[in-house]
Structure 1
Amino acid sequence: MSKVLNVGVVGCGYWGPNLIRNFRSLPDCRMRTICDASEARLRHLKTLYPEVEAETKFENLLNDTTLDAIVIATPVRHHFPMAKSSLLAGKHTFIEKPLAASVAQCEELVDLAKKQGLILMVGHTFLYSPAVRKMKEIVDKGDIGEIRYISARRLNLGLFQKDINVAWDLAPHDISIILHIMNETPLRVNCQGTAHVTPGIEDVTSMSLSFTREKSAIIQSSWLDPKKIREMTIVGSERMIVYDDVAPQEKIKIFDVRVERPPHYDTFAEFHYAYHYGDMYSPYIKQDEPLKTECQHFLDCIRSGNTPITDGRRGLEIVRILEASSQSLKLHGAPIELPSAAKSSAGSSSSRSPVTDSSGSRSPLAVGAIKPIGDSANKAG
């Protein structure tokens, strides 16, 4: 029988209770301690889980030698200091997305986890969704042909954040799915947005990612829409996939439609696009809770030493894109080139957040981490 792992969760606000519930439900896990600055939240959770210990001081989790792992579900500004302390205390560490507030912070956490021989995992929950796993299977089999572009919309009314903009809050979900489906990282990032409610914190953004072979992805994020939308379209050369995460059933629909251009023609008058309209079908998807699968995967990786699907390096890739989007926003949508991981690692020197610092003002970006492309970026600034 596998050893029962003792887990502590810090942050019992919006998402923390979901993590507590799922870890507690796993037979090979003991949900030992919950931690939050709010005693009222802790009292409420104690009524649901009376056997769980409650703490208001994070240091007590770090000093608890019986804890095998710490799960961090706090605001982004706390991710880096808490995760660093957790790793230094010898705890396997799970962090809700995004991994940290800058590329430099992510790189430090990744290096520290490797040095300590500990599992560092990021909560990109959608990669554990049966629907996303099915889409990945369909794409990898070549059933839709070559990907041409992906478009994603993640819209709702709130929840407004105070330390990150809507791109940092909502886009990580779509970015993680897109990188997983594309199986590559983008070459450049463009991002435009507007702050309607809180000055300096964009609540509506549109991000564009450019990949090799003219592939692209567009991500629209908003806290200002009346209707909750979680939709992604993958356009292939042979077929197209529409993924609607809000739909109670048939979350994935595959459309046998495409556009073809004639291979040979002598005059422009002979040129005609061919539109193919075929059937639509929805594959069967087993309904499992992605968060429960993700929590189990974290425990399994602790026991086996295997690298998580959403490890620290995957989290770093996504923060690199988010950091580039922040610079593009400052430059009114100018394209920002993404360097290779090795080049970026050598160039990053700042651990300050690209979004806001403790005073609420914009912080400088990591030196050398990302750069504008061409003269248009300088003019845009």
Structure 2
Amino acid sequence: MVSSPNSLPQPRPDGTRLKAAVIGAGYWGPNLARNFKAGPDWELAAIVDMDLSRARAIAGPLGDVPVFSSLAELLASTDVDAVAIATPARTHHLVALQALEAGKHVLVEKPLAASRELGLEMVELAASRRLTLMADHTYCYTPAAIKIRQLIADGELGEILFIDSVRINLGLVQPDVDVFWDLAPHDLSVIDFIMPEGLRPETVAAHGADPLGTGKSCVGHLTFALPNNAMAHINVNWLSPTKIRQMVIGGSKRTLVWDDLNPQQRLSIYDRGVNFEKATTTAAQRKAQAISYRLGDTWSPALPEKEALGQMVAEFAASIREGRPSRTSGAAGLRVLNVLEAASRSLENGGEQSFVADGNVQLEGTR
């Protein structure tokens, strides 16, 4: 039965696959469609795109999935439980509201919306309708990110001293967003995922450059404080001829390096660092101490070979069935938006520190 615009979601019988439609058949839509088709929790019910020929090009190899030219057409004729939005960032808000008002659970690719205000409206509507709103923060579902989260939670790295992330490549200059809004959401979402308290800086500072004269930053650096006087730095770049996807997390016990482009050894853990007794000495005492270094072993934990998107669509289904926020909920997407908006304000003010909006959104539950 097709849902009316004001209907609440009706649960499927236990063991019945949920029905999903993918909205957008551009760059990311085909990846989502493939994983919904392959996932045991889902039935890929439709692909929606204004360009029907592009939608059919995806739908054909997946078993001639029905295609529609608009979300309104889909909602009027097909019963789905959820939609996955893979359209330009500026359209996320309107498409998500239309789906939520029709009683559909919603997955949105990054960034959640074009602004905090629009993202907050999405989160509030999902909460009022008792629907799952999930951000497609794909990197949070990689085996590497899941392992890092576990290592930090177990205290294996000790107290986090710094996070340094590099995401650079010769990439496409996006028409509607700068390099921060295009690339930094990946790193910000991972930091939100792995840190016990999530992504909650008070201020950020951003510096960008536009050497091509595109009217937007193509190269950028973003810095902000972490708990206990630690620091995070994110380097994003569309102009580098070399591709680097690397995050270094320095701890008081060990340092971890995540090289996402090295499938043989994505994670390396170094038992090396500076020795000091932070808890029992003052800053003045530490200054007077001779620095000593610890040089220990390096090891690489084994990681399962699982596609992140497959794990993500499985989590989407689980959060719907269990009536709980997903690991990358709308609230998590909102915390990333808070930092991005503050970064944009910092850029406008020549790199000055910019305050980040409060990230304590409780509408979808707590972490």
Q: Normalised by the size of structure 1, how large is the TM-score?
A: 0.86
Paired residue for 2:329? 311
Question: 2: CA distance between counterparts of 1:69 and 1:206?
Answer: 36
How far apart are 1:160 and its partner, in Å? 1.9
How far apart are 1:271 and its partner, in Å? 4.3
How far apart are 1:269 and its partner, in Å? 12
Paired residue for 1:190? 205
How far apart are 1:66 and its partner, in Å? 0.9
Q: How does 1:1-381 map to 2 (within 5 A)?
A: 2-184=15-197, 185-197=200-212, 199-261=214-276, 271-341=289-359
Question: 2: CA distance between counterparts of 1:198 and 1:301?
Answer: 44
Question: 1: CA distance between counterparts of 2:40 and 2:229?
Answer: 47
Gaps of 5+ in 1: 346-381
SS in 1 for 2:36: helix
How far apart are 1:200 and its partner, in Å? 2.3
SS in 2 for 1:183: coil
Question: 2: CA distance between counterparts of 1:207 and 1:293?
Answer: 29
Q: What do you get for the CA RMSD once the two structures are aligned? A: 2.2
Paired residue total: 343
Q: What CA deviation, in whole Å up to 9, does each residue of 1:311-358 have, x standing for no partner?
A: 111100100100000000111110012243469x9xxxxxxxxxxxxx
Q: Quick one: structure 1 residues 46 and 261, their matched pair in 2 at CA, closer, same or farther if it must change by over 3 Å?
A: closer
Q: Is the 8 A contact 2:20 2:42 kept in 1?
A: yes
Question: 1: CA distance between counterparts of 2:25 and 2:257?
Answer: 34
Q: Is the 8 A contact 1:33 1:53 kept in 2?
A: yes
Gaps of 5+ in 2: 1-13
How far apart are 1:201 and its partner, in Å? 1.6
Q: Quick one: structure 1 residues 267 and 330, their matched pair in 2 at CA, closer, same or farther if it must change by over 3 Å?
A: closer
Q: What CA deviation, in whole Å up to 9, does each residue of 1:1-48 have, x standing for no partner?
A: 512211110111111100000000012311111011223312321331
Question: 1: CA distance between counterparts of 2:129 and 2:170?
Answer: 41
Q: Quick one: structure 1 residues 61 and 200, their matched pair in 2 at CA, closer, same or farther if it must change by over 3 Å?
A: same
Q: Which amino acid is 1:24 matched to? A: K
SS in 1 for 2:60: helix
Q: Is the 8 A contact 1:62 1:85 kept in 2?
A: no
Paired residue for 1:374? none
Q: Quick one: structure 1 residues 64 and 217, their matched pair in 2 at CA, closer, same or farther if it must change by over 3 Å?
A: farther
Question: 2: CA distance between counterparts of 1:271 and 1:342?
Answer: 40
Question: 2: CA distance between counterparts of 1:183 and 1:280?
Answer: 25
How far apart are 1:96 and its partner, in Å? 0.4
SS in 2 for 1:59: helix
Question: 2: CA distance between counterparts of 1:252 and 1:236?
Answer: 15
SS in 1 for 2:87: coil
Question: 2: CA distance between counterparts of 1:270 and 1:191?
Answer: 34
Q: Which amino acid is 1:276 matched to? A: R
State, as a whole percentage, how many aligned pairs show the same letter: 38
Q: Which amino acid is 1:161 matched to? A: Q
Q: Normalised by the size of structure 2, how large is the TM-score?
A: 0.89
Question: 2: CA distance between counterparts of 1:248 and 1:2?
Answer: 35
- Select between 28-37 and 321-330 the one with higher mean Cα deviation: 28-37
Q: Which amino acid is 1:149 matched to? A: F
Q: Is the 8 A contact 2:338 2:357 kept in 1?
A: no
